[in-house]
Amino acid sequence: MNDDRLGQLAEATEAEAIFQMHSAPDDAQMEMLGGSVCRIGGATAIRTDAFPGFSISRVAGFSSPPEDSMIGEIEEFYKGREGIFALQIPPLLVTGSVEELLARRGYAIRNKWARFVRDTSEVDIERKTSSLVIREIGVEEGDKFAELVTSAFDFPKVTNPLISSVVGSDGWKFSMAFDGDKPVSTGCVFFNGEMAWNCFATTLPEYRGMGAQGALLKARIDAARLEGCSHITAETHLDNASYRNMLRFGYKMLYDRSNYVPGG
């Protein structure tokens, strides 16, 4: 499979995952979140007004260069939002005309996320010896998972139902690392045909460097292979701990994807 096709599958899988995640909370929870989700021109737009940043208010899954009418629909979807939102357009689709369109409508690059992909062959690196226990969780521990994630990402606690919304759902697997009964690290994986997507990699500061994320990365690669996925993808900020873990575990960076926000 060539890199262009891998990128297409990765973008589509991420978009399907965030669509499901933002469709699962009930109406009362979505009202508290200031949340909504829709498909626009084949892409997925998610909105979470309870958090001002764009990590849970963004448009992903572009399959063709966006046109002026599509950008207009997106802006209508986010109308009235006090925080920012981002258009996450893969570089292959950012043509000269798209750059001109975005500039004319007042968008600028805020930062970039790295798109990683790996095949699901077995991990062949030496793992750190650790007393931490890695195991899959179900709905009954979804709140614990959400508490760790919202704390790590500085999300307000009102977003907990969003983070745990698909725990226990078909096509998803959520895992945590435990020190005894104490949850200390998180990770989840979504299965979508040939491609899997991993997300929500967090570790309590005092437990970093103990091998929790390495073990969770391996567990998600293994799970994707067992589900019949040939590849697994993730996205992260450039040159942080997650970025370095991806490289260490055999992921290849396909490209960096710009986050275009209105007003720069």
| DSSP per-residue letters across 66-114 | --HHHHHHHHHHTTT-SS--EEEE-GGG--HHHHHHHHHTTEEEEEEEE
Tokens for 139, please give them. 């709905």
As a whole number of angstroms, the distance between CA 30 and CA 114 comes to: 29
3-state class (DSSP) for residue 213: helix
pLDDT at 257: 98
**Which fold, 119-255?**
Aminopeptidase (3.40.630)
Average pLDDT, the chain: 95
Would you say residue 127 has pLDDT above 90?
Answer: no
**pTM, to two decimals:** 0.95
17-56 pLDDT tens trace? 999 999 999 999 999 999 999 999 999 999 999 999 999 9
Would you say residue 211 has pLDDT above 90?
Answer: no
Beta carbons of 134 and 177 less than 8 angstroms apart: yes
Percent of the chain having pLDDT more than 70? 98
pLDDT at 258: 97
Helix, strand and coil content of the chain, in percent to the nearest 5, comes to 35, 30, 30
Strand partners, 169: none
Would you say residue 136 has pLDDT above 70?
Answer: yes
Least confident of 20-29, 129-138, 154-163: 129-138
With cut-offs at 50, 70 and 90, classify the pLDDT of residue 129. Answer: low
216-249 pLDDT tens trace? 999 999 999 999 999 999 999 987 888 998 999 9
Would you say residue 154 has pLDDT above 70?
Answer: yes
Query: What is the residue extent of each domain of the chain?
Result: 3-113+257-262, 119-255
Q: What are the backbone angles phi and psi of residue 54, rounded to the nearest 5°?
A: -95, 0
With cut-offs at 50, 70 and 90, classify the pLDDT of residue 183. Answer: very high
